[in-house]
Amino acid sequence: MRLRELHCPVALLPEGWAENVLVKFDEQGWIRSVRTGVEAWGGAQASGPVLPGMPNVHSHAFQRAIAGRTQRVGPGEDDFWTWRQAMYAFARRMTPEAVEATAAQLYVDLLKSGYTAVGEFHYLHHQPDGTPYDDPAELSRRIVSAAREAGIGLTHLPVLYACGGFGGAPPSEGQRRFLSDVDGIGRILAAIAKDAADDPQLRVGLAPHSLRAVTPEMLRDALAALDALDPTAPVHIHVAEQTQEVADCLAWSGKRPVAWLLDAMPVSERWCLIHATHMTPAETAALAASGATAGLCPTTEADLGDGLFPAPDFLAEGGRFGIGSDSHTRISPSDELRMLEYGQRLTRQRRNVLRREGFASIGLGLYAAALEGGAQALGRPLGRIAPGRRADLVVLDADHPLLYGKRGDDVVDTFVFSGGPGLVRDVIVGGRHVIRDGRHEREDAIAAQLRRAVERITRAG
């Protein structure tokens, strides 16, 4: 259902909390006006505090299908690289139908947890043996159609993946479905950009997978191809997630991955460096100064044993970040933000570590930072209840016992540290009321379609 306005008893505006806020939308889903101190008179009324919806900057939708399937002990020690083998083995089994069904269910679950837009870092392009589908953009189109079915905003990021390691090392068997050259990825980009032209819910960008997966020449050519299409489109890349990757990059180039990228590439506001876990203080300061965002995925980074992002230094340098759920072991913006702070508390033996100037609360400071950084990373006007931004809103459940008697910053701290997705009651994306009273109108059909797809791929073994 499309709304034209929403009256909010309390809303988080760019300037802070405001009461009796009337937000008006146009039919394309843009916020037209925001007025405060307006009494409700019978139009659509939010049942609780209203926050800007959270952008999710990093998703591999198909990996939701492996949630709970990678926690078994292996023959030797388990690490990121043994997880990756298990992930590759499962990725082989994904049919186009399974990709779409998994993504549609995932996107409904993202909405229910308070995410209203997602950056899909999409590298499953081809058939299991590496042959392109008849339509080379087949699986990208499946992602777009899943996002449309769920009603979530999408920044589609087709991945350029060509090598198996630094210095143009050959790819492995398990990477066949991901491989393309610059022209191939350009064709997928152009196909999806056509769909995005008249859809304010959709944007495209480019994702060179990592410095392991592309050569510097390819990276330059791909950026040139992207610029020809859209010189402001987002660029996302995995970087410095594992210490092995740092060591390999040093052996190849004499530089650490983040330093290499900042020196060799025009890293700017349009870039989002995913993970950037392992940085020296100089790299941390330089990344912050570049204006690029760090795409932090704390629950996945914990699950994969990556290490801790140097968040206190990065924030002190004015660094910008967005959050992502990456492998989707957990789906919850509050989990990502809480883990970001708790990682620091556990190692420093202190409380309230990630403080930000102008914010009295940790939860709100981090939530607000992730809104701004997330909007920047996804290249869409999100993250603020303000005219000209997308009407992407989350209504918390004022009837939830955790929120009794709470006001202002305590509401967001309760969401981030205690309530999580259970506090999300209604979600509006681009003016469409996609989650009502905790339910998505198509959730039964979407779950049924997933069940069928899972049964088929499980049977096919």
Query: Which residue, judged by CB position, is nearest to Zn ion in the bound state?
Result: 326
Query: 87 vs 396, which CB is nearer to Zn ion?
Result: 87
426 is catalytic: no
Q: How far is the CB of 122 from Zn ion (least distance, A)?
A: 11
221 binds, among Zn ion, ligand NGQ, none (CB under 5 to 8 A by kind): none
Write each residue from 324 to 363 as x if it is in contact with Zn ion (CB under 5 A), else as -, in one continuous string. --x-------------------------------------
Are 239 and 293 a contacting pair, CB within 8 Å?
no
326 is catalytic: yes
- Per-residue tokens: 401: 């016992």
The residue within the footprint of ligand NGQ, chosen from 84, 187, 400, 436 (CB under 6 A), is 84
Query: Which residue, judged by CB position, is nearest to ligand NGQ in the bound state?
Result: 60
Residue among 326, 335, 397, 413 flagged as catalytic: 326
The residue within the footprint of ligand NGQ, chosen from 70, 140, 180, 210 (CB under 6 A), is 210
329 binds ligand NGQ (CB under 6 A): no
3-state secondary structure the chain: CECCEEEEEEEEECCEEEEEEEEEECCCCEEEEEECCCCCCCCCECCCCEEECEEEEEECHHHHHHCCCCCCCCCCCCCHHHHHHHHHHHHCCCCHHHHHHHHHHHHHHHHHHCEEEEEEEECCCCCCCCCCCCCCCHHHHHHHHHHHHHCCEEEEEEEECCCCEHHHECCCHHHHHHCCCHHHHHHHHHHHHHHHCCCCCEEECEEECECCCCCHHHHHHHHHHHHHHCCCCCEEEEECCCHHHHHHHHHHHCCCHHHHHHHHCCCCCCEEEEECCCCCHHHHHHHHHHCCEEEECHHHHHHCCCCCCCHHHHHHCCCEEEECCECCCCCCHHHHHHHHHHHHHHHHCCCCCCCCCCCCCHHHHHHHHHHHHHHHHHCCCCCCCCCCCECCEEEECCCCHHHCCCCCHHHHHHHHHHHHHHHEEEEEECCEEEEECCEECCHHHHHHHHHHHHHHHHHHC
Query: 49 vs 208, which CB is nearer to ligand NGQ?
Result: 208
Residue located via tokens 């790819």 = 171
442 binds ligand NGQ (CB under 6 A): no
Site size toward ligand NGQ (CB under 6 A) is 9
Residue among 238, 275, 278, 433 flagged as catalytic: 275
Q: How far is the CB of 166 from Zn ion (least distance, A)?
A: 18
24 phi and psi angles, rounded to 5 deg: -110, 140
149 phi and psi angles, rounded to 5 deg: -65, -40
Q: How far is the CB of 299 from ligand NGQ (least distance, A)?
A: 11
The residue within the footprint of ligand NGQ, chosen from 156, 238, 384, 389 (CB under 6 A), is 238
Query: 84 vs 148, which CB is nearer to ligand NGQ?
Result: 84
Query: 60 vs 125, which CB is nearer to ligand NGQ?
Result: 60
The residue within the footprint of ligand NGQ, chosen from 143, 249, 304, 362 (CB under 6 A), is 304
Query: 62 vs 415, which CB is nearer to Zn ion?
Result: 62
331 phi and psi angles, rounded to 5 deg: -125, 100
389 binds, among ligand NGQ, Zn ion, none (CB under 5 to 8 A by kind): none
Q: Burial, 398: exposed, middle or buried (Cβ in 10 Å; 0-12, 13-18, 19+)?
A: middle
Q: How far is the CB of 83 from ligand NGQ (least distance, A)?
A: 8
Q: How far is the CB of 76 from ligand NGQ (least distance, A)?
A: 19
326 binds ligand NGQ (CB under 6 A): yes
Instruction: Identify residues 142-201 at the interface with ligand NGQ (CB under 6 A).
Output: none
Query: 251 vs 282, which CB is nearer to ligand NGQ?
Result: 251
Q: How far is the CB of 261 from ligand NGQ (least distance, A)?
A: 15
Are 275 and 295 a contacting pair, CB within 8 Å?
yes
Query: 100 vs 303, which CB is nearer to Zn ion?
Result: 303
The residue within the footprint of ligand NGQ, chosen from 100, 241, 335, 413 (CB under 6 A), is 241
The residue within the footprint of ligand NGQ, chosen from 59, 284, 293, 300 (CB under 6 A), is 300
Instruction: Identify residues 46-65 at the interface with ligand NGQ (CB under 6 A).
Output: 60
Catalytic site positions: 275, 326
**Would you tell me which residues interact with ligand NGQ (CB under 6 A)?**
60, 84, 210, 238, 241, 300, 304, 326-327
**Would you tell me which residues interact with Zn ion (CB under 5 A)?**
326
